[in-house]
Amino acid sequence: MSEATSNGPSSVDKPDAGGLVGSASRRSARAHAAILAATTELLAEAGYGALTIEGVAARAGVGKTTVYRWWPSKVALVIEAVSRALPAPAQIDTGELRHDLLIAVRRVIHTFARSPVGTVIPALAADAMSDPQLAEQFRNQLIRPRRSAVVEVLVRAAARGELPSDVDTDVLLDVYAGAVFYRILVSGEPVTDLLAEQLVGLLLDGKTPVKPRPDAPAG
């Protein structure tokens, strides 16, 4: 909704807020924040499946009605809570494609596999897909902002001649993010930093991924 996707906390409430967001949303401030905090906590503690609106309301010290007033469903609530809990999608620009891309892959790994709140994304995604509108919201709020940062990396690299000018950025992104995602959700293989390097090697150098030497230190 209004909220300015990214949570630049200072810039949001400071100067006016009253003018923009207006009468409608201001009243809710306390409850609103408590609900999002409770959601984030419960997601981290028990996961997406165990999250109930009732539980959120109780933890937030709020009536269920108040939750439903602002979010139409569990999915919508979680999308917003996760989006705020995740680090804002910062720009990546080391000047070197290889390095930028490695950062991007590691970020994905961290989000999906390590951050307490990002690990609910697979379940959230599966749930959101059942309703096209929620699917759209899921992508707009959680996925696109983070994708954009990497698309910029690739576009810059293409401008520098490090990638073909007609590079299909979507496929490239889907390849590394998908590989990470799929490991976590489906194949169950471990997600390590080695994987990040294998993926970058494949994407930038066309290097077929090979198994690490058995005596090598674990990733």
Partner DNA sequence: GAGTAAACGAGACGGTACGTCGAGTCTTTTC
Partner DNA sequence: GAAAAGACTCGACGTACCGTCTCGTTTACTC
Binding region for a copy of itself (CB under 8 A): 47-49, 122-123, 125-127, 129-130, 135, 139, 143, 147, 163-164, 166-168, 170-175, 177-189, 195, 198-199, 202-203, 205-211
CA distances in angstroms from 120 to 66, 82, 86, listed in the order given: 24, 8, 12
The residue among 191, 203, 200, 201 whose CA lies nearest residue 122 is 191
Q: Return the number of the residue (3 or 162) whose C-beta is nearest a copy of itself.
A: 162
Q: Return the number of the residue (64 or 114) whose C-beta is nearest DNA.
A: 64
197 binds, among DNA, a copy of itself, none (CB under 5 to 8 A by kind): none
Shortest separation between residue 106's beta carbon and DNA, angstroms? 34
Shortest separation between residue 36's beta carbon and a copy of itself, angstroms? 22
| Ordered DSSP codes for 13-43 | HSS-SHHHHHHHHHTTHHHHHHHHHHHHHHH
Please count the residues of this chain forming the interface with DNA, following the rule CB under 7 A. 26
| 61 forms part of the interface with DNA (CB under 7 A) | yes
Which residue of 20, 47, 64, 133 would you call a contact of DNA, by CB under 7 A?
64
| 45 forms part of the interface with DNA (CB under 7 A) | no
The residue among 9, 12, 41, 142 whose CA lies nearest residue 86 is 142
Shortest separation between residue 31's beta carbon and DNA, angstroms? 4
Nearest-angstrom CA–CA distance, 25 and 32: 9
How big is the CA angle at 149 (ends 146 and 155), to the nearest 5 degrees?
140
Would the CA dihedral through 65, 6, 136, 1 be positive or negative? positive
Q: Return the number of the residue (9 or 216) whose C-beta is nearest a copy of itself.
A: 216
Shortest separation between residue 185's beta carbon and DNA, angstroms? 21
AA identity, residue 88: A
